[in-house]
Amino acid sequence: MEMQFMLLFSRQGKLRLQKWYVPLSDKERKKISRDLVQTILARKPKMCSFLEWRDLKIVYKRYASLYFCCAVEDQDNELITLEIIHRYVELLDKYFGSVCELDIIFNFEKAYFILDEFLLGGEAQETSKKNVLKAIEQADLLQEEAEAPRSVLEEIGLT
């Protein structure tokens, strides 16, 4: 499944996460984000989760105040893409404990880390929720271990 990009944005159109799996310049990315966000925000709630946009298929779903939006290629299975999106939301939920938009705003780098443990190059690398969360946990531990001594030194003033 060649996912080209994934965007998360709020109902006011503010980007909360953007993951690009195809090489595009910053300007192009900005333009695509802006156009696509507008298109999706204009859609009514009763409409289906798929649309054709330029030469891509867009799969999107709203969870509370956040839109999760993926661009996939023509031959991809839209229904399983919805499942991918759902799995990502579940992971975020498990990690943050009842995740809400604010969690993602204030911990955006963690949201990226989780995504990067779930998808790689646009494809799912791990289909077990447990394994993804375990990997994140371990990596977080690794990070803390690296941080811990330094902050003690900082306190004493010996930086």
Partner 1 sequence: MPAPIRLRELIRTIRTARTQAEEREMIQKECAAIRSSFREEDNTYRCRNVAKLLYMHMLGYPAHFGQLECLKLIASQKFTDKRIGYLGAMLLLDERQDVHLLMTNCIKNDLNHSTQYVQGLALCTLGCMGSSEMCRDLAGEVEKLLKTSNSYLRKKAALCAVHVIRKVPELMEMFLPATKNLLSEKNHGVLHTSVVLLTEMCERSPDMLAHFRKNEKLVPQLVRILKNLIMSGYSPEHDVSGISDPFLQVRILRLLRILGKSDDDSSEAMNDILAQVATNTETSKNVGNAILYETVLTIMDIKSESGLRVLAINILGRFLLNNDKNIRYVALTSLLKTVQTDHNAVQRHRSTIVDCLKDLDVSIKRRAMELSFALVNGNNIRGMMKELLYFLDSCDPEFKADCASGVFLAAEKYAPSKRWHIDTIMRVLTTAGSYVRDDSVPNLIQLITNSVEMHAYTVQRLYKALLDDISQQPLVQVASWCIGEYGDLLVSGQCEEEEPIQVTEDEVLDVLEGLLVSNLSAAVTRGYSLTAIMKLSTRFSGVNRIKKVVSIYGSSIDVELQQRAVEYNALFKKYDHMRPALLERMPIMEKSASNGPTEIVQTNGETEPSVVDSKHPPPVSQPANQANDLLDLLGGNDVVPVIQTTVPTKPASAGGELLDLLGDLSLSGVPTPAPSVATSQPSFLLDGLSSQPLFNDIAAAAIPPMTAYNKNGLKIDFTFERANPNPNVAVITIHASNSTEADMTDFVFQAAVPKTFQLQLLSPSSNVVPALNQGTVTQVIRVLNPQKLRMRIKLTYTLKGSPVQDLAEVNNFPPQSWQ
Binding mask 52-81 for partner 1 (x = CB under 8 A): x------------------------xxxx-
Using CB under 8 A, which of 98, 128, 156, 158 touches partner 1?
128
Determine, following the binding rule CB under 8 A, whether residue 123 of this chain makes contact with partner 1. Answer: yes
Using CB under 8 A, which of 12, 109, 155, 158 touches partner 1?
109
Using CB under 8 A, which of 13, 65, 73, 83 touches partner 1?
83
Measure the CA–CA gap between 47 and 64, rounded to whole angstroms.
Answer: 17
User: Which positions from 11 through 40 interact with partner 1, judged by CB under 8 A?
Assistant: 14-21, 23-26, 30
Query: How many residues in the shown chain lie near partner 1 by CB under 8 A?
Result: 57
CB 33 within 8 A of CB 66: no
Looking from the CA of 28 toward its CB, the CA atoms found within 13 Å total 6
Tell the smallest beta-carbon distance from residue 23 to partner 1 (Å). Answer: 5
**DSSP secondary structure letters along 129-155:** HHHHHHHHHHHHHHHHHHHHHHHHHHH
Measure the CA–CA gap between 112 and 73, rounded to whole angstroms.
Answer: 22
Cα 58 versus chain centre, distance? 15
Measure the CA–CA gap between 57 and 40, rounded to whole angstroms.
Answer: 12
Q: Which is nearer to partner 1, 64 or 154 (CB)?
A: 154
100: helix, strand or coil: coil
Q: Which residues of this protein are in contact with partner 1, per CB under 8 A?
A: 14-21, 23-26, 30, 44, 46-52, 77-80, 82-84, 87, 105-106, 108-109, 112-113, 116-117, 120-121, 123-131, 135, 138-139, 142-143, 146-147, 150, 159
